[in-house]
Each structure stands twice: as structure tokens, then as C-alpha cells.
A and B are shown apart, each in its own frame.
Chain A
Amino acid sequence: MSTRTLGAPETAPAVEPVARRRTGTLGRVLRAAALTAFALAFLFPFYYMFIGSLQAEPDTSPAGAFPTGGLTLGNYREINAEIHLLRSLVNSGIFTGGVILGTVVFGLLAGYALAQLSFRGRGALFNLVLLVQVVPFQLLLIPLYVLIVRGYGLADSYLGMILPFLINTTAVFVFRQFFLQLPPDLFAAARVDGASELRILWSVALPLVRPALLTVVLLTFIGPWNEFLWPFLITKQTDMQPLAVSLANYLSNVAARAANPYGAVLAGACVLAAPAVALFVAFQKHFTSTNIGSGVKG
């Protein structure tokens, strides 16, 4: 598996001709129908979210799902007045950007070292990385809160939000997996020429793992952008809250007072969902089983 053939297995039919012929036309039609039905079941809530965000009055009749007119942007104005969308989006952006930056910089260094360098303690460190994936975040919740909020005083700060997510371990695996595919001779030659490891990483390794970079950014993006529990615990000031938190607070506290609570919530949900969905649809080729499956399996 080289970097050039990434994603190729997904486009190659996995079942050889003999088996396919036996499936028959009827089977294929049935399968296509079932797949499409499932796909629509998956997409309908998103369609309903969008349509609901444009309706002035909630219409829960079946016909209300396919309105013929009377669509309005009023719900977006309503939610913006309640939670200041732009400010929340900026907070989400800084939180996510910080995590992506930390993951790309430190994850790249770690992935390269784990795959291409031999040093004392590498095996032990790799085992530690594997072990960390098993430690569930819920156990760390209370001690992390005590340490970060009470110990370091980082409540209502971007650093406090970012710290527990700073380096995405799955991304380290993806980087390591990519670096493992590169021939060690490549790096040995550069070393003989007297290049430092950082220089080798920057001008030899980095250009070769550019596809991995995009996969890692996509993969890392959805973590902090969608994260609710941690930023919810540590932000009490509304002007520091990421959108997921301010929308959830609106949902559980304020929505009852609004004229069309569902409409406003759905408008906020669309704003929260749009960047992740757009990024994913635009770059879905990089979000394949070969890219990520190998990373998850280690």
C-alpha cells in the first residue's frame, strides 16, 4: 500500500465475477433499493433540520415536511439574538484550530519518530500510546476538571478547552502508518548528507505525507468542533462558549420562552452542522477506510 494507491481499494469491486453472476439482477436491484432506502433514512433528519429552520411556524404534519412557500430566515435572526452566533463560531474555531495545530505539529513529530527512528524507549512509548486509547475519557473527567479548572485556573479560557484534546491519538497512528510506508533509505541518505532530523522531516518527509495531513485535519476537526461535555464543564461565561455549548444551553434553558423554539434551535443546529458537513462532503475522498481504518487498528 503506497501513498499513491490510497482509496483505490474502495473503487475496486471486492467480489469476483463468479460470485457476482450468481447474485442475479433481482438481487442487485433489491440491494440497491435497500441501500438507497437506508441512505434516505440517514439523510431525512438533515433535510428536516434545514426545512424546519426556515419555517416561521412549526408544522409537524407530513405535508409540513415539504412546504410550498412561506420560508423565512427569521429563525436565524432569533437564534443570533439569543446566543450571538458569530462569537460562538469564533470560539468553536479557536478551540478547533488549536487542537488541529497541536495535533499536526506534535502528532507529526511523534508519528515520524515512532515509524522511522530507533531510540531507547520507543517500544515502551508505543505501548503507552496503545494503552491511552483504552482509558475512557469519562474516568478522567473529574480529575481533569479539578486539575485544569481548580489547579491551573484555566476555566473560561481557550487553553483550558484545548489542553485535554491537544494531540489526537488516532492522528498519531495515521501519521505513523504513512511514515511506515516510506523507505528508510530515503531518510538515511538525507542524514548522510548532513541534514538534521527536523530538516529531513520538513523537506523530505512532509511533502510525501501530504495526503495524510488532509486526513488528519478532517479527522481532528470533528472532535473539538462537535465536543460538548468538556467545554460545557469549563466555560461559564457565555462569551467564551463554543457553539455546541451555547446552543445546548439555549436548548435546555431558554428555548421554552421563544415564539418558535424548534425553529430557532434547528437554525442553530444548521449553523453548527454546516462547517463539518461541508468539509466532509468536499474532502470525503480522504475519509476512507484505508486512511483511517489502518490508523484505528494501529
Chain B
Amino acid sequence: MTVHLTRGTQPRPGHRRVTALLGRHPVGLALMAPYAAYLLLVFAYPFGFAVWMSFHDYFFAAPGAQVERPFVGLENYRTVLGDPGVRQAFGNILVFLLINVPLTAALALTLAVALNQAIRGRTFLRVAYYVPYVTASVAVVGVWLFLFSSDGLVNTLLGPLAPDPSWLVNETLAMPLIAVFVAWKQLGFFILLYLAALQNVPKELYESAAVDGAGAWQRFRSVTVPAVRPATTLVVIVATVTGANLFTEPYLLTGGGGPNGASTSPVLLMYQRGLEQGAPDVAAAIGVLLVVGVVALSMINRRLLERS
């Protein structure tokens, strides 16, 4: 076997040049080709196209028609920033993220720690926490509409304490409610991430903390939280990116971002401006601004979280 292997790894003279040029297994390039083509076609090219579009006067023309699409500099960005609807949508998504992201990270970590220690009923608990994550948003939106309608179960239970106007038609409450709803929906996935991180926490740390007389809460604060910090960074960034993608919930729960645009999200606005009102260049500019915002937020979060 060893002899064979040595002979096998020594390139024959004719192959030496190919090896130098393409590596030991040039066939790898062929195996990667479909995926690489997919990445270029569906991600890299549209990405460049979006940025290009946001600097040009782009509009939908009849198929096959040759039309001029002049460079307009920052014109589209001026339109976007001067639009109060856009500013409101970005404000809304900020409110959403401020509620959704900390809530998600805190609940996911707490439940993951508890789940990690629970012995009985672990399968049942895991299934319960993950089920909302594997279910379609459109399906769970149906039951949330039913629960939170003005004469729904939640208001019936609250009786005189029910908010007026009701949850989804209340300008102050609509967006926070959507933030809580999305946290509930996505929590299972983030619990999964934390569970993976918890497997790697050295047990000796808990041992020495226990020897030092640390209680459960102190062990959680001084051992668990610092040990899973890299996972927290990941959770916060993924939750921010997912949250910035918000579309289905405001589109369906609040009838397209209502009341009075109080729950409009930037992606919903991209759909309305770009496809309903036929201004894809403006929509592309909203997209670029949104991505710049998300990247900036992620970098700030990372800085804050990795500072020990």
C-alpha cells in the first residue's frame, strides 16, 4: 500500500506541467465549475448590476428595444434620501433590529443553556423550539393575524387591557410586535448555533468556578457568556442580516406596511418602488444603502462584542 501510494503521488513526466499549472487534481476545477458558475451568475453579476443600476437612469423597456440608460451620478440616491417614506422605512427597520436582535440573542442563549443541561424530554423540547423555524412565514402569519386581530384571542384575554387601536393597526405597536414575532419564528435556528458553541466550552472552567463557590448565575455570567462570545457575534450578525431582509411579515400582517407606513420595511419599499411603480434604479439605490447600513451595523456589533 505504502509503495503504491508513493508511486501514485509522484507525477509522471507528461503530467508534471499540468500539475504545476492546475494543481495535483485538475479535475477538481471541473467538479467546482457548476457551483462557481452559479455563484458568478446568481450572486457576483447581479451584485455588480445592482450597484451599476443605482448610478444610472434605469427603467423597464419593451423586450428587445434598444434604449439609452445614461449615467446620472448620485441622482437616484438623492431621490431616495429625499423621500420621507424611505427615511421612515429605515427608521422602522432600526426599531425592529433594536428589539429583535437583543431579544433573539438573549432568549436563544438562555434556552440553549437550559436545553443543554436538561436530560428528560430533550427531544420534545428541541422539536418545540425548532418547529416555528421550519414552518413557512406565510403559514404562521395566518395564525398570528387570527390571534392578534382586534377581536382575537389575545385581546379577549386582555379584556380592558387590550391596546386601542389594536396591535396590528396601532402605529406604535405594529413594528415592535413584528420584531417579537420574527424573534419567535427564528429562535430555533439561533438555539442550534448556541448549542454547537456550548459543546466546545471546556468543562474544567465550570469545575473551577464551582470550586470557587460560584452559583449558577455567576457561572453563567463568568463562564458561559464569555466562552460563547464568538457564537454571539455570529448570532447578532446573522439576526441583523435576516432582520434587514424583512418583507413577508409587514406585507401580510399589516397589509403592506401599515398603519400609515409605520411597519414598512426597506425591502417592502424596494418591491413597491421598483416593481409596482417601475423605478428599479431607485429600488437598487435603496438596496445599496440597506446593505451599506447592514455592513456598518455588523462591524459595529463585532467591535462591541469582541471587546473583552
Contact = CB atoms under 8 A, between A and B. Distances in A.
B62 to A, nearest CB: 10
Nearest to A140: B46
Contact of B43 (A45, A120, A135, A153): A135
Interface residues of A, number: 113
A280 B131 contact: yes
A164 interface: yes
Nearest to B42: A164
B96 interface: no
B229 interface: no
Given A16-B207, A62-B157, A110-B31, A31 B146 contact: no
Nearest to B5: A188
B12 interface: no
Best-surrounded residue of A137, A143, A166 (most CB of chain B within 10 A): A143
B128 A39 contact: yes
A229 interface: yes
B225 interface: no
B301 to A, nearest CB: 14
Q: Chain A: interface secondary structure?
A: helix
Given A52-B146, A284-B130, A143 B46 contact: yes
B104 to A, nearest CB: 14
Interface residues on B, range: 35 or more
Contact of A293 (B25, B151, B192, B275): B192
Interface string B229-260: 00000100000010011011001100110000
Contacts of B219: 19
Given A139-B291, A296-B193, A120 B35 contact: no
Given A14-B201, A294-B196, A138 B132 contact: no
Contact of B31 (A129, A134, A197): A197
Contacts of B271: 141, 229, 233
A244 B138 contact: yes
Report, nearest first, the 4 A-B pairs whose CB atoms are least far apart: A293-B196, A117-B28, A119-B28, A39-B128
Interface of B: 1, 4-5, 7-9, 21-29, 31-32, 34-36, 38-39, 42-47, 49-50, 53, 60, 63, 111, 114-147, 149, 151-153, 155-157, 184, 187, 192-193, 195-199, 201, 203, 206-207, 209-211, 215-216, 219, 234, 241, 244-245, 247-248, 251-252, 255-256, 266-267, 270-271, 274-275, 280, 283-284, 287-288, 290-291, 294
18 contacts: A15-B203, A19-B209, A22-B215, A27-B216, A34-B114, A46-B143, A110-B31, A117-B23, A118-B25, A119-B24, A129-B39, A141-B271, A167-B38, A226-B134, A269-B140, A277-B135, A279-B134, A293-B192
